[in-house]
Amino acid sequence: MFDVLVYLYENYWRPDACPEPKQLSRKLSAVGFDAEEINDALKWLDGLAHTAEGGTEELARLHPQAGSVRIYTAHEREVLGDESIGFIAFLESAGVMAPAMREMVIDRALAVGNGRVELDDLKIIVLMVFWSLGEEPDALVLDELFVDSEDRVIH
């Protein structure tokens, strides 16, 4: 699924630039993606679109102050892990991720649904949240999103 998301980010500047789901599915299939992977990605993107369209206002209302502290549930800690939670905290402390965006990232990470979300996958989720909102992360954030934290080389 994450390979499909990266492909979409690289080939479509904004979600509204993507073709309709049926046509997009055919295009992704023609590129060589597996049908199940395409379906998972499109379903995940549908949830992201729903959150981006109306959910951010509700999320912002729930967390109105930029300095709010997020307490993670046991399930969220299990799915995200310390490394991903630390990365989210880094983005917030750097002032590049507002509380509403943080909640979108957490929501979409939980929606992946197959156990622990690795840091590299969480970075793709963060990128897709920016993409869905039509925002371009600044250069330093892009470096953090595309550089492997262990050996610091670009994927």
Per-residue pLDDT of the chain (155 residues; tens, 9 = 90+): 999 998 998 888 777 788 888 999 999 999 999 999 999 999 998 898 888 776 555 555 555 465 667 899 999 999 999 999 999 999 988 888 888 889 999 999 999 987 899 999 999 999 999 888 888 777 666 677 665 545 434 33
Whether 99 contacts 135, CB under 8 Å: no
Whether 87 contacts 119, CB under 8 Å: yes
Give a yes or no: residue 129 inside a domain.
Answer: yes
Which neighbouring-strand residues pair with 95?
none
CA distances from 142 to 21, 24, 133 (A): 27, 26, 16
Task: For residues 33 and 56, give the distance between their C-alpha atoms in angstroms, rounded to a whole number.
Answer: 31
Total domains in the chain come to 1
Q: What is the pTM assigned to this prediction? A: 0.82
Give a yes or no: residue 34 inside a domain.
Answer: yes
Q: How many Cβ atoms from other residues are within 10 Å of residue 128's Cβ?
A: 24
Give a yes or no: residue 69 inside a domain.
Answer: yes
Q: Which of 130, 119, 62, 43 is nearest to 87 (CA)?
A: 119
**Sequence-ordered alpha helix ranges (H) in the chain:** 2-11, 21-31, 35-50, 56-62, 74-93, 99-112, 119-132, 139-146
CA distances from 92 to 68, 86, 99, 122, 141 (A): 10, 10, 8, 14, 11
Give a yes or no: residue 152 inside a domain.
Answer: no
Give a yes or no: residue 151 inside a domain.
Answer: no
Domain hosting 84: range is 2-146
Give a yes or no: residue 91 inside a domain.
Answer: yes
Query: Which pLDDT value is given to residue 151?
Result: 45
Q: Which of 18, 39, 24 is nearest to 128 (CA)?
A: 18
Give a yes or no: residue 139 inside a domain.
Answer: yes
Query: Which pLDDT value is given to residue 12?
Result: 85
Give a yes or no: residue 22 inside a domain.
Answer: yes
